[in-house]
Amino acid sequence: MNTAYHPGSLAVQRRVGVRDLADHVGRSITPGIRPVAAAFLEAQPMLMLGAADTEGRVWARLLTGAPGFVRATGPHTVSVAAALPEGADGAPVGTLALDPRTRRRMRLNGTARTSARGFTIEAEQVFSNCPKYLQKREWYGSGPAGPDAGDERHGEALTPDQIRRIRAADTFFVATAAPDGLDTSHRGGNPGFVRVDSPGEISWRDYPGNAMFLTLGNLESDGRAGLLFLDWETGLTLALSGLAHTEYGPDGRVTRFRIERTAENPSGSPLRWSPPEYSPSNPPTP
């Protein structure tokens, strides 16, 4: 993966008519970790990780720890005190560090390798995003330790309770793949911005963003995707893996995600957060 856009993102940028803006914004993508970025990473108690499993399915996962569990160990290397998912050693990963307290977020993509501490990432793309659609939350502390893999419940379609949770969600995370690597991004809106069209399919409108179109660009060339929903107050996590595509119409862009696998863990996160203060950028939902 390099700092240039790949053909999928370029195709979407041309289609939407934002190539010049995308080139301008793309100058913020660097392979290096600046001091301000290193300080931000070290202050976070969570990190979203996008990676493919041994079967090639893409998942978005939540990693947690005391602040400092993620830290830069050089201008191009990050050390994470957590277990690397099976199948990700020596493979591309996409990470997102997000701080709901300050509505700040940063993406770091590269190659992961196991280490004595957990794993390292050799950074290839590092950049920050604007606070658009990011709900503000306060960190109340930590509950019971998690996740416990034994608590995970697996399926191939959504249960009624999972449907209710998704319809009430104001945030989720999406990992996507491309020929040159992986990327993990954030999606936010008022509750109801994610639609459950059936127990096997969900969809959401693509709101205007930074014009990079990294997620939609990845889906142009590789439909694999992984979604992660959090219950911010109880620590429950719901991960979905499947295939996605984007439809372009006169009323905007809609991404449709077909579910192939589900993994729900009631103790997926030890972190406890306050109810949200919704972003003023959120469009109204039906």
Nearest 5 degrees, angle CA 130-CA 196-CA 210?
A: 15
Determine, yes or no, domain membership for 283: no
pLDDT tens column, 82-93 = 999 999 999 999
Residue 286 or residue 231, greater confidence? 231
Is residue 100 reached through a cis peptide bond, with omega within 30 degrees of 0 on the bond before it? no
Q: Is residue 206 part of a domain?
A: yes
CATH number at residue 27: 2.30.110.10
Q: Per-residue confidence at 210, pLDDT binned at 50, 70, 90?
A: confident
Check pLDDT > 70 for residue 221. Answer: yes
> Is there a domain that residue 244 lies in?
yes
d(CA 286, CA 129): 27
User: Are 58 and 175 contacting, i.e. CB atoms less than 8 angstroms apart?
Assistant: yes
**Which one-letter amino acid corresponds to residue 23?**
D
- Please indicate whether residue 23 or residue 196 has the higher confidence score (pLDDT): 196
The total number of structural domains in the chain stands at: 1
Q: What is the pLDDT of residues 149-163, one digit of tens each?
A: 558 999 999 999 999
pTM confidence score: 0.94
Residue 126: name the closest of 96, 99, 153 by CA: 96
pLDDT at 35 over 50: yes
Asked if residue 278 is part of any domain, the answer here is no
The verdict on residue 83 lying in a domain is: yes
pLDDT per position as a tens digit, 97-149: 999 999 999 999 999 999 999 999 999 999 988 899 999 999 999 876 555 55
Gap between the Cα atoms of 58 and 72, Å rounded: 25
**Within-domain flag for 281:** no
Structure tokens at 84: 């690397």
Phi, psi of 149, deg, nearest 5? -60, -25
* pLDDT attached to residue 146: 53
pLDDT tens readout for residues 166-187:
999 999 999 999 877 999 999 9
Tell me if 264 is assigned to some domain: yes
Contact 258, 244 (CB under 8 A): yes
Show the domain range for 15: 7-273
Look at residue 279 and tell me if it is in a domain. Answer: no
